[in-house]
Amino acid sequence: MKLFQLVCFFILTPFAFVSLGCGTSGQTEAVSSTASAANNTASTQATSPAEVQNAKTKLVGKWNGTVEIIPQGVELARTGLADDEEKKARFENYIENFKTTTMTLDLKEDATMEMTVSVTVQGKELSQPSAGTWDVEKVEGDNIVVKFVRNEDSFTEAQQFSFQSNDDFITEGPGEGAFRGIAQMRFSRLR
């Protein structure tokens, strides 16, 4: 599970894709975001210590993330809902709420991090803070794989950030099965 997915799942549980009863439907490969290579982090070359240090320097700072819905992914997910009007209504509600999701990510020089995810659900803004540590696992061009460990439960995961510029990166949003590829999150540097 991706960092973004895990935190959003906690906040969006009533609207999460699992509650829609769709799970996997064999349509996972049709749509991918710019950052979809996060699960394919195999490399033939090891990342040098200098590359790791440069990536850490690039990442340190406070970032603001906003959701970008991927229309093709949404259409693909809708096909998995068949003719079930209740599931379709829950899905549309999920997408509308999901569009309001923002994340603040503060990556500090001492390898600690703070993060807050906010979303508006049924007119109420919900926020979930989290803290932990981070480290660079791998660098491949403009893609940096970052390992996160949450303080609350020691949950560990790797997330790929695909840099578009020094102050802008994209990471894949949540989703499994038919819901993979419905969104990505774009982060911009605040400081």
- The 10s digit of each residue's pLDDT in 148-189 is 998 988 888 888 999 999 999 998 865 555 556 888 899 999
Pairwise CA distance, residues 28 & 137, whole Å: 26
What is residue 45's DSSP assignment? S
| Residue 119 identity (one-letter amino acid) | V
> Do the Cβ atoms of 9 and 20 come closer than 8 Å?
no
Three-class DSSP category at 142: coil
- The 10s digit of each residue's pLDDT in 78-106 is 887 878 889 888 888 888 888 899 999 99
Pairwise CA distance, residues 30 & 59, whole Å: 31
Residue 22 has pLDDT above 60, yes or no: no
The percent of residues above 90 in pLDDT, for the chain, comes to 42
- The 10s digit of each residue's pLDDT in 128-153 is 999 999 999 999 999 999 999 989 88
Domain 3-22+50-189 sits in CATH at 2.40.128.640
- Structural domain boundaries of the chain? 3-22+50-189
Mean pLDDT, the chain, whole residue set: 77
Q: Which of 162, 81, 164, 165 is nearest to 173 (CA)?
A: 162
Residues whose CB falls within 8 Å of the CB of residue 135, separated by 6 or more in sequence, listed in order: 111, 146, 147
